Amino acid sequence: MALLRGDGLTKAEAEALRETLIQDYRWLLVDEYQDIGPEEYALIGAVAGRSLEDDLRISLFAVGDDDQNIYAFAGASIDFIRRFEADYAAKPVWLTENYRSSAHIIAAANAVIAPAAQRMKAGHDITVNRARAKAMPGGDWTAMDPVAPRRVPLLDAGGAAAQAVPALAELLPKEVLKVSGCGIAGPQLIARLRKVGYRGFLIGETFMKEADPGLTLTHFKEAIPC
């Protein structure tokens, strides 16, 4: 960045060095601008020539959404995207058409984010793209759901052990299963796995097997942490 800024050089030297580094690039595109931090901000400013006269700058095009800032833990700040218009005398364009989600999902997302303070898109709600304006609010899958069309069913899965059993029953060979770190859920999980056909379990250093004389540790296939 010091080279791009021309630190320690005369104005003419700095301009010549910058032109050599930038060469013929005249456009800079930055995606996910809401996730940049101080270092990225300084680098983008140095490349774009934020502090230089207009004829020495290159055009900067940034795409970002302050609603989607999720990297504050890594130093990112939405302050930079909020300053973008003033930093570069930029003109904002609102991209509010959603080409992916159903109208129901979009409405729920708008309702969830609306109370957020100081949003840049306040008053610019997301909408379904125009080509899908007359589509079913629940999307194409609405007509394919024979159980609860246009509704979200809430099912009691019976806890973590009950949810794990069907997945394991499909994915793992029903021979010997290692169960580790399950705590009090271990016995419950093992009982359920027995019902779907598992014949033995390796728990820590202890090998448990069902009534199958031919079953040995050579049948061991998978390990699951709980």
The domain spans of the chain are: 2-132, 160-225
Residue 220 pLDDT level (bands cut at 50, 70, 90): very low
Average pLDDT over residues 100-129: 92
* DSSP states of 58-117: -EEEE---GGG---GGGT--THHHHHHHHHHT-------EESSS-HHHHHHHHHHHTT-T
pTM as predicted: 0.58
pLDDT at 207: 46
As a whole number, the mean pLDDT across the chain is 74
pLDDT at 89: 87
Give the list of residues 6+ apart from residue 127 with CB closer than 8 angstroms, or none: 96, 97, 98, 106
Which carries the bigger pLDDT value, residue 222 or residue 23?
23
| Least reliable range by pLDDT among 24-33, 81-90, 211-220 | 211-220
pLDDT tens profile 7-58: 776 777 767 777 777 777 888 999 999 999 998 998 888 888 766 676 667 8
Residue 62 pLDDT level (bands cut at 50, 70, 90): very high
**In this prediction, what percent of the chain has a pLDDT beyond 90?**
24
Residue 156 pLDDT level (bands cut at 50, 70, 90): low
pLDDT at 1: 65
pLDDT at 171: 55
Q: Residue 43: enclosing H or E segment and its boundaries? A: helix 38-48
| Least reliable range by pLDDT among 112-121, 137-146, 179-188 | 179-188
